[in-house]
Amino acid sequence: MTQAQKLEELLTKSVIPDLDERLDEIFEEIADNKEATEDAKEEIDELREFKADLQDVLDDIQSGDIDEDECEELIADILEAQKGSEEDFGFVEED
């Protein structure tokens, strides 16, 4: 299995489902409280943006526009973040 395949599997079977689950939790909290706090709105925006970034990575994998070294770095960053030591999964804002 290539690093790109490992990254794709990690994103589709772990990271993105976790993001979706967190979004669902926030929406449930909003439904229970009948309103969205500023923190909840901000977290929703951040999670949606992060999910879009992950989708871009998946698109790059599908089109072959990502190299094995970059995949390996992203995998390491994600695994480290899943241990709870990072919140940004190693992604850097693009201009």
Across the chain, which has 95 residues, the per-10-residue mean pLDDT values are 94 94 92 88 93 96 95 93 62 49
Residue 36's pLDDT is 84
Residue 83's pLDDT is 83
Residue 93 covered by a domain:
no
Nearest Cα neighbor of 18 from 93, 90, 89 is: 89
Residue 91 covered by a domain:
no
Quote the domain boundaries for residue 47. 3-82
Residue 17's pLDDT is 94
Residue 87 covered by a domain:
no
Residue 88 covered by a domain:
no
DSSP character for 31?
Answer: H
SS3 state of residue 36: coil
Residue 90 covered by a domain:
no
Using an 8 Å Cβ cutoff, are 47 and 19 in contact?
yes
Helical ranges in the chain per DSSP H? 3-10, 16-33, 38-63, 68-82
Question: How many domains are contained in the chain?
Answer: 1
Residue 61 covered by a domain:
yes
Residue 44 covered by a domain:
yes
